[in-house]
Structure 1
Amino acid sequence: MDAVSGLAAAKRIVVKVGSALLVGEDGADRHWLAAFAADVARLRARGQHVLVVSSGAVALGRRRLALPKRTLTLPEKQAAAAAGQSGLMRAWEEALEPHGLAAAQVLLTRDDTEVRRRWLNARATVETLLALGVVPVVNENDTVVTEEIRYGDNDRLAARVAQMIGADLLVLLSDVDGLYTADPRRNPAAEHLARVSRLTPEIEAMAGGANAVDGVGTGGMATKLAAARIASAAGCATVVTLGRRPAPLLAVEEGQRATIIEPSTTPAAAYKAWIAGSLAPTGALLVDAGAADAVRRGKSLLAAGVRRTEGHFDKGDAVVIRDEAGVEIARGLVRYEAEDAQRICGLKSDAIEGALGYTSGPLVHADDLALAAHAPA
């Protein structure tokens, strides 16, 4: 795989845009944004879904509030984020609107990608936006987060978002055109690496520090490789390329320099493995023969086929699914808390809203199911 084929083949792409690209002397760089929006529109026109993780709120708010050029205190940083986020979204909306694309603001905290219930809610929102043809613009909710509970940088946030939505490709726009054997700004003899098949300690040692020239942003190649490691484990490839050029995605497809870091698995396999082996079940669902057969064939678990529930679980928790003999056939993430799940056992899908006042679809969606090792597909 190379960067050209990786970008062309990806169905779902997350692009991280840093402050150094977005923010100029007089605010948002609308010329760059306009060219990048054309890039996004080109991918959308050929059926690819694009989600943008955008920095820039703090940098824009800092200028708007005329805060001094020094390290900001946490309250100052939160105030700058509050003042700058509206301007950031306005810039994105103005850039995308000429292409008939709508932007939607999605502000996340670390808990939204680490706590399962909130993760499910955030994923459902983003999935709906993508299905509607909207371009989600994601940023960390810097107005409310503290240093102890923040992602640390938007490279990591972008990787977590890619993991959350099962993206095929994560694109990290950088101030260099990929990974080199050393920092090319300091070592002219550094060699460019077009492809990395595995992130070894030797590869990670090649990363340098953040760009101190522009005075904005917190990332660097080290944070990009850390993000690529998260993405790789989730089955998502990562492309690192130069962002400071018009239409940087088109530039990659035209053969301009970039580095692709290949995934170690597929998104679906990584997600299923996470459900099967990384989560401790908090309850169980006992199902009839018809439901057991459907689950074994990769179908969603509907309430109509569930006889009873066991244990105390919340929406988003992992549960064991057992057949009439008590044999575990799968594990999955349940979409209802235990009390509501028990109330709808045996009900057909069109009766759930009448019983609960709401519906979240099947008890366990097929996408959130992992078959037990002994259960034939």
Structure 2
Amino acid sequence: MAALTQAKRIVVKIGSALLVEGASGQLRAGWLDALAEDVVALRRRGADVVLVSSGSIALGRGILGLAPGGLALEQSQAAAAVGQIRLAQAYSSALGQRGVTAAQVLVTLEDSADRRRYLNARATLETLLALGTVPIVNENDTVATDEIRFGDNDRLAAQVAVTIGADLTVLLSDVDGFYSGNPQVDPAARRYDVIDEITPALEAQAGEGVSGLSKGGMKTKVMAAKTATAAGCDLIITRGEGLHPLAGLEAGAAHTLFRARLSPASARKHWIASMKPRGAVTVDAGAANALGQGKSLLPAGVTAVSGRFGRGDPVDIIAPDGARLGAGLARYTADEAKRLIGKRSNEIEAVLGYPGRAALIHRDDMAL
């Protein structure tokens, strides 16, 4: 399965129905162990892996003895608080036994909607991956309410993929792909092997189905595919109930591949370049040369700052002769950037009074 074997950074979404037995509310420990073996195998061939995992509410409600059926918001939040500890322990144990460190990252919709928090989340995930961990991401159900929820982990997985520049997202599901109709009621429904464009007609085939403990149906998976592919990330829907679902996919298990048209890096640069700048930073000749070699922009290379911008806002990058070199997302506010003009990285804390990031604009957040 080329999309999986060639991917360098992979996001895998795991639904509650795969991780937790519906009747008993118990963790499927054997399934999780097999998944951990698949993750370790992917890492051995050099791929970064991030897991987006549901399951905290499903586990917590079993531990607390909450009755089947719908839960009030406060009950869901309480169940999440209890279940999240158990879920983190399970992942830490399954991966730790195989020599891999798990890291827990809890997010809400605000963390992607707010640019400053988005950049912080991106930096944290990038650092965790660089340190060799497997981040386990979940929505922070203990505090999230309807207005700040992703609502399902299909879309969360796609957003995480966009955040870290993944080239593949795998949605482990209770179905083996995307069909032209509901195969449970339509014997003529056929599974698509590859989808190159998500058209309105194709979206209309998604339906509204919700299964088991999961919140999302096929419609949310198509929405996730639109988000991922627009950012240069392929997305796969495949069945996940069996042991070793990723190894099975690699061996050719049935699936649907939504194919991206651009690479993650190209898509991100297009996005940055299309944004309206909130200000500008002028750089010296040395910094301009370094940017051309793929380096980040450090405060030491900045000679002037203009405009009113916050952290995460787009700014133009201006050469010494006034030519526009490109654009990037600032990691400091305009006021902070002005105070850091010409300063070296080891001087940042002394100038600002608190630790800061070494780069004013990181190379991954730049389009030249």
Which band: TM-score by shorter chain?
over 0.9
Answer whether contact 2:313 2:329 (CA < 8 A) is retained: yes
Kindly provide the amino acid, as one letter, of the partner of residue 30 in structure 1. A
Deviation track 1:38-71 (CA, whole Å, cap 9, x = no partner) reads 1111111111111000001111111122222232
Match of 1:10 in 2: 7
Matches within 5 A, 1:152-191: 152-191=151-190
8 A Cα contact 1:210 1:218, kept in partner = no
1:21 to 6, 18, 23: 18
Q: 1:104 & 1:27 partners in 2: Cα distance? A: 22
Does 2:135 match 1:139?
Answer: no
Matched residues in 2 for 1:134 and 1:297: separation?
29
In the TM superposition, residue 124 of structure 1 has moved relative to its aligned partner by: 0.8
Q: What residue identity is the alignment partner of 2:187? A: P
Do 1:13 and 1:169's aligned partners in 2 also have CA atoms closer than 8 Å? Answer: yes
Identity rate of aligned residues, in percent? 52
In structure 1, stretches of 5+ residues that fail to align are 372-377
CA contact 1:235–1:266 (8 Å) conserved in 2? yes
Residue of structure 1 equivalent to 2:343: 347
Residue type matched to 1:202 in 2? A
Alpha-carbon distance in 2 for matches of 1:22, 1:97:
18
Do structure 1's residue 318 and structure 2's residue 317 form an aligned pair?
A: no
Distance 2:114 2:262 in 1: 23
Q: Which moved more, 1:288-297 or 1:237-246?
A: 288-297
Q: Deviations over 1:184-241 (max 9, x none)?
A: 22223322211111111222222233344x3x11111111111000000000000100
Q: Go from structure 1 to structure 2 and tell me whether the alpha carbon gap of 1:190 and 1:59 turns closer, same or farther (over 3 Å shift).
A: same
Give unpaired runs (5+ residues) of structure 2.
Answer: none
Following superposition, the deviation at residue 151 of structure 1 comes to: 0.6
Cα distance in structure 1, aligned partners of 2:358 and 2:233: 27
The correspondence of residues 35-46 of structure 1 with structure 2, limited to 5 A, is: 35-46=34-45
1:306 aligns with 302
Q: Deviations over 1:286-318 (max 9, x none)?
A: 222332333344432222221121123222221
Q: Distance in 2 between matches of 1:210 and 1:321?
A: 48
2:226 maps to a residue whose letter is R
Number of residue pairs matched?
Answer: 365
Cα shift readout 1:105-158 (whole Å, capped 9, x = no counterpart): 100011111211101111111111111111100000011111111111110000
Question: Contact between 2:25 and 2:61, CA under 8 Å: does it hold in 1?
Answer: no
Does residue 217 of the first structure (1) align with residue 214 of the second (2)?
A: yes
CA distance in 1, matches of 2:320, 2:8: 39
Range that drifts further, 315-324 or 216-225? 315-324
> 1:247 aligned to 2:247?
no
Deviation of residue 93 (structure 1)?
Answer: 1.6
- TM (normalized to structure 1)? 0.93
SS of aligned partner of 2:76: helix
SS in 2 for 1:193: coil
Q: Shift of residue 81 of structure 1?
A: 1.1
Letter in 2 for 1:310: S
The Cα shift of 1:248 comes to 0.7
Measured in 2, the distance between the counterparts of 1:297 and 1:255 equals 40
Say which is worse superposed, 294-303 or 304-313, in terms of deviation. 294-303
Does the residue aligned with 1:76 lie in a helix, a strand or coil?
helix
Moved over 4 A (4+): none
Deviation larger for 196-205 or 171-180:
196-205
- The DSSP-based 3-state class of the residue aligned with 2:208 is coil
Provide the rounded CA distance (Å) in 2 between the counterparts of 1:290 and 1:81: 51
